[in-house]
């Protein structure tokens, strides 16, 4: 039986790396793509291929796809995992940063999908897996731009699914919840960098506290849990259109489905409500470790790798 060929973006760490390794274990020929190929040694050691690619650079993306097609003649599975989370009040986030987030999380995803589709369509087979988030179904204060990109991925995926069904190509959305990866730390730092000393400072501190608690909670999952879900989806005879993972993510998405907007607003406000201490600390802002341990630029590079 011919081995299927998979391309996984954002494969230098976290969900992307674990997905590449899981697909290798299941017999796929796997290409992991990231800005820094050197960070994908685990994939190479496991028998996969590492390929340098920046999803925001059209030349880089085309070169990567052309290489895979030249070496393998096909791409059967595309896992669009590259992305990052940048937080901060909408009023505080520069529009250039908002555009950057869309370039990585939405346009980068769409661009590489355009390049792999002709071959899939001609063979009348293939699977596109778009890594969204429960953030594509719910919302948080200070997360407007990130959530906007994930809502966009959800809508893009739905349209693409019905568009490609007559051509034999499947589209699957994965909605991770709290997963212990670099994403959480990057998001916390960006919130404090953008809004830690503004009128939204108390909310920024509350957001950081809430994200930290989510990362440490029993409901948080490890990257390999999402990787297994992705692998199950691409090997299923008839995959579901969406997979929320882990179990806590299924609960949150289900809750959003049944609660009216105003009720869900109330729930979100209570979860992210600043404490008296956070209000007091915000009235006398200081340089916070969360905002200085890494710059937003460094965070973007790691997350989009």
Higher-confidence residue of 115 and 219: namely 115
Q: Which residue among 31, 86, 150, 187 is the active-site one?
A: 150
Answer whether residue 287 is part of any domain.
no
CA 29 to each of CA 117, 137, 270: distance values in angstroms, whole numbers, following the listed order: 18, 33, 47
Whether 203 maps to a domain, the answer reads no
Q: Is 234 part of any domain?
A: yes
Please state whether the predicted TM-score (pTM) of the whole model is above 0.75.
yes
Return the structure tokens found at 183.
Answer: 């994403």
In a domain, 284, yes or no: no
Q: Report residue 184's pLDDT band, with 50, 70 and 90 as the boundaries.
A: confident
What was the pLDDT predicted at 123? 97
Q: What residues make up the domain containing 240?
A: 5-180+221-260
Report the CATH number that the domain containing residue 128 is assigned in CATH.
3.40.50.720
Is 250 catalytic? The answer is: no
Per-residue pLDDT of 10-20, as tens digits, reads 999 999 999 99
To the query of whether residue 41 is one of the catalytic residues in this protein, the response is no
Q: Does 280 reside within a domain?
A: no
Please count the other Cβ atoms lying within 10 Å of the Cβ belonging to residue 285: 12
CB 116 within 8 A of CB 160: no
Please indicate, yes or no, if residue 123 is contained in any of the structural domains: yes
In a domain, 200, yes or no: no
User: How many domains are contained in the chain?
Assistant: 1
pLDDT tens-digit map of 157-181: 999 999 999 999 999 999 999 998 8
| Catalytic residue status for 12 | yes
* 132 noted as active-site residue: yes
Computed over every residue of the chain, the mean pLDDT equals 92
Domain-embedded: residue 83: yes
Mean pLDDT of 224-236: 97
């Amino acid at each position: 039986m011919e081995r299927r060929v998979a391309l996984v973006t954002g494969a230098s760490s976290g969900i992307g790396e674990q997905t590449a390794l899981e697909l290798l274990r299941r017999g796929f020929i796997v290409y992991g793509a990231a800005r820094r190929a050197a960070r994908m040694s685990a994939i190479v050691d496991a028998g996969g291929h590492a390929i340098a690619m920046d999803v925001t650079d059209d030349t880089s993306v085309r070169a990567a796809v052309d290489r895979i097609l030249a070496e393998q003649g096909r791409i059967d599975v595309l896992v669009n995992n590259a992305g990052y989370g940048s937080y901060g009040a909408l009023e505080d986030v520069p529009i250039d940063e908002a555009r950057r987030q869309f370039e990585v999380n939405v346009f980068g995803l769409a661009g590489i999908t355009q390049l792999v589709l002709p071959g899939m369509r001609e063979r009348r087979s293939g699977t596109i897996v778009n890594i969204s988030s429960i953030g594509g179904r719910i919302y948080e204060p200070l997360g407007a731009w990130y959530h906007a990109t994930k809502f966009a991925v959800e809508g893009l995926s739905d349209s693409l699914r019905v568009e490609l069904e007559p051509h034999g190509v499947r589209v699957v959305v994965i909605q991770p919840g709290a997963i212990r990866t670099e994403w959480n730390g990057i998001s916390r730092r960006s919130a404090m960098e953008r809004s830690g000393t503004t009128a939204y400072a108390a909310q920024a501190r509350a957001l950081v506290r809430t994200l930290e608690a989510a990362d440490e909670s029993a409901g948080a999952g490890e990257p390999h849990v999402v990787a297994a879900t992705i692998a199950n989806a691409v090997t299923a005879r008839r995959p579901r259109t969406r997979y929320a993972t882990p179990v806590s993510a299924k609960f949150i998405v289900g809750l959003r489905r049944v609660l009216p907007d105003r009720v869900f607003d109330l729930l979100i406000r209570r979860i992210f409500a600043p404490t008296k201490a956070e209000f007091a600390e915000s009235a006398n802002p200081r340089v916070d470790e969360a905002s200085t341990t890494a710059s937003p630029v460094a965070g973007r590079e790691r997350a989009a790798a």
